């Protein structure tokens, strides 16, 4: 993708077909900094092999399509399988009575000192049940229980508006901003054109 100058004190126009969002990085450096929450009745957390791509894709889209999650949607099967099964990777499903309703991807650093929460989300139907809180509590137990000194993640303004307040309640502290620029995945058919309604679709082929 070509590069363009970025105005660090004002607006920068993007070429047609591109979207941009502000990314916030957050981290927690002690298990004691985050609350402990048990799983509600009927919920369980299961570790996945990372090779059942159909199950993964279905859950990923169910959670994230509304929020324009696309990093995994644009991957072909070989690339996604490699991503989910690389050394240090862990894939967890949150299940309610056997139905997948939440997703976590973790990546341990080579020295074991850091754990990145690459994906975290639950379906709308379990909002308000305490399941997301319990799922993140389990993530922190797993990370710090395995010897990590820091657990970190990033979210963006395309995501659920409650994401940053939720992570802060779970003990995470913001530490960095970034700008992500990418091709709009809806223009190339990776996501439906109605996905991410909070992010306007500007089709350069449609004319003005």
| Per-residue pLDDT tens digits for 103-141 | 999 999 999 899 999 999 999 999 889 999 999 999 999
Mean pLDDT over each residue of the chain, to the nearest integer: 95
How far apart (Å, rounded) are the C-alpha atoms in residues 116 and 108?
Answer: 6
Average of pLDDT values for 201-208? 80
pLDDT band at 207 (very low <50, low <70, confident <90, very high): low
Residues 6+ apart with CB under 8 A from 107: 86, 88, 89, 90, 115, 116, 118
The answer to whether position 199 is within a domain reads: no
The answer to whether position 30 is within a domain reads: yes
Q: Residue 129 is part of which domain span?
A: 20-183
The answer to whether position 156 is within a domain reads: yes
Give me the CATH number covering residue 60.
Answer: 3.40.630.30
pLDDT (tens digit per residue) in 139-176: 999 999 999 999 999 999 999 999 999 999 999 999 99
- If one counts the domains in the chain, the total is 1
Q: Residue 208 pLDDT > 60, yes or no? A: no
The answer to whether position 65 is within a domain reads: yes
Least confident of 48-52, 64-68, 114-118, 147-151: 48-52
Average of pLDDT values for 57-82? 96
pLDDT band at 51 (very low <50, low <70, confident <90, very high): confident
pLDDT (tens digit per residue) in 2-30: 788 889 999 999 999 999 999 999 999 99
Q: For the chain, what percent of residues have pLDDT higher than 90?
A: 90
How far apart (Å, rounded) are the C-alpha atoms in residues 119 and 157?
Answer: 15
pTM of the model: 0.94
The answer to whether position 141 is within a domain reads: yes
The answer to whether position 206 is within a domain reads: no
The answer to whether position 205 is within a domain reads: no
The answer to whether position 67 is within a domain reads: yes
How far apart (Å, rounded) are the C-alpha atoms in residues 93 and 198?
Answer: 27
Q: What are phi and psi of 140, to 5 degrees?
A: -65, -40
CB burial string 114-129: b at 16+ within 10 A, e below:
bbbbbbbbbbeebeeb
């Amino acid at each position: 993708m070509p590069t363009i100058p970025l105005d660090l004190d004002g607006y920068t126009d993007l070429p047609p077909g591109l979207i941009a969002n502000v990314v916030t990085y957050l981290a927690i450096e002690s298990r004691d900094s985050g609350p402990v929450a048990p799983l509600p009745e009927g919920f369980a957390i299961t570790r996945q092999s990372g090779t059942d791509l159909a199950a993964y894709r279905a859950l990923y889209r169910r959670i994230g399509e509304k929020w324009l999650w696309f990093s995994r949607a644009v991957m072909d099967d070989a690339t996604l399988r490699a991503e989910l099964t690389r050394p240090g990777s862990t894939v967890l499903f949150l299940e309610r009575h056997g139905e997948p309703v939440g997703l976590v991807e973790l990546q341990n650093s080579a020295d074991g000192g850091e754990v990145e929460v690459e994906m975290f989300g639950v379906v709308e139907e379990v909002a308000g049940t305490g399941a997301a809180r319990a799922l993140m509590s389990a993530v922190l137990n797993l990370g710090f229980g395995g010897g990590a000194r820091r657990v970190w993640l990033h979210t963006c303004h395309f995501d659920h508006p409650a994401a940053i307040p939720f992570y802060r309640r779970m003990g995470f502290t913001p530490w960095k901003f970034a700008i992500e620029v990418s091709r709009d995945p809806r223009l190339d058919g990776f996501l439906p054109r109605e996905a991410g309604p909070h992010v306007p679709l500007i089709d350069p082929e449609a004319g003005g």
